[in-house]
Structure 1
């Protein structure tokens, strides 16, 4: 009877040891599985962040190059020597040359000072260049159209806020293209009416 009890006790001890080992093994498996999934999630998140950063850097590089080309054109057509523009801007001549070649990041304040020193309209020119309209930025930077856009970009936000009020929240981005077409047509009609009045006054004399 005692031998049976000892045998049974031994079997129970082995079962208990096996259970504890299995429990530890399962816990380790769960831990490593959790750690692996956690590490995988972190890697995927980092990969996404790196991809977004690369896209941002690519976009920033493209914008910097576009602004640099626009500034180089402004300096070229200004009729001023580069050392004079650099002095007017408060920049070393070599630094200005690096900016014009797109070899260093260009701050918006720097770009505005260079354009102003060149006799261009800075706000309109920068907005056009950053909007992907580099050719128009170069063409209009010293024209009456550039001056019009300079005033238009300055005045539009305040008029929108004053006219729309709380309805600003109801504005939809998809309306932008149609609204720009409407503004262009209104401007064209205004010019036609203005020219028509001038012709009528001339014929009436």
Structure 2
């Protein structure tokens, strides 16, 4: 008899195939496991114990992998749907606040009006290039808006897309790589991801101090008049 000695870790259909193989194995070797009632031969207890234990193990492994794969696929599907919905909400806000008809925006973006409508409703998967074209024709910062939407900050994306802070973030994202390369050079390799959060807080404090300095200068200029 040939035993199944490995389990599939590929797709669901492969795991089901392994379950069917063990079932066929037990059916084919039924006479070996249980002796006919017409004989007085003693059953082979160790063999029976091994086969029953083996069948239970295979069933547990197969069912566990099927459940795990199902949970993973469900989680990935939900994450993708949530991301698509966030981008759709941002696109809808950009279109509604553009002050132009959807037909004009769709034509300039190189798509049908119905396609644009379905995209902003979240009724179809949104490609990044489509989202970028729509944001561009709506006259809002593309990079900063998409990054905010993809990172889960779709509300900020909607608030900032037609605000100076959105334009600032767009320019910051564009110029930061070049500034890092110019200032750090080969030392860019020494940067650590864990520093990013603290650096962002430092930049925010520097900007706050910069704004306070400008405000103080304006007050001093007005008092000097």
Structure-2-length-normalised TM-score: 0.70
1:78 aligns with 2:98: yes
Deviation at 1:92, TM superposition (A): 0.9
The match for 2:190 is: 167
* SS at 2:69 equivalent: helix
Matched, 1:195 2:218: no
- What are the ranges of 5 or more consecutive residues in structure 2 without an aligned counterpart? 1-40
Q: Does 1:64 align with 2:87?
A: no
Aligned partner (choices 57, 75, 100) of residue 37 of structure 1: 57
Alignment length (residue pairs) = 183
Paired position in structure 1 for 2:72: 52
Q: Distance in 1 between matches of 2:217 and 2:169?
A: 24
Deviation, structure 1 residue 202: 5.4
Q: Normalized per residue, which structure has more helix?
A: 1
Structure 2 Cα separation of the partners of residues 158 and 50 of structure 1: 44
Corresponding residue to 1:186 among 206, 213, 225: 206
Please tell me whether residue 98 in structure 1 is matched to residue 121 in structure 2. no
CA distance in 2, matches of 1:129, 1:61: 13
Taking the aligned partners of 1:159 and 1:104, their CA distance within structure 2 comes to 38
Find the counterpart in structure 1 of residue 137 from structure 2.
117
Q: Are 1:107 and 2:127 an aligned pair?
A: yes
Unaligned runs of 5+ in 1: 1-17
Cα 1:41–1:160 change in 2 (3 A) is farther
Could you say what the CA RMSD is over the residues aligned between the two structures, in angstroms? 2.7
Query: How many angstroms does 1:65 deviate by?
Result: 1.2
Q: Distance in 1 between matches of 2:161 and 2:97?
A: 10
Report deviation, 1:95.
0.8
**Relative to structure 1, is the Cα distance of residues 68 and 30 closer, same or farther in structure 2, using a 3 angstrom cutoff?**
same
Greater Cα radius of gyration, structure 1 or 2: 1
TM-score by length of 1: 0.76
Is 1:147 aligned with 2:147?
Answer: no
**CA 1:158–1:51 in structure 2 vs 1: closer, same or farther (change >3 Å)?**
farther
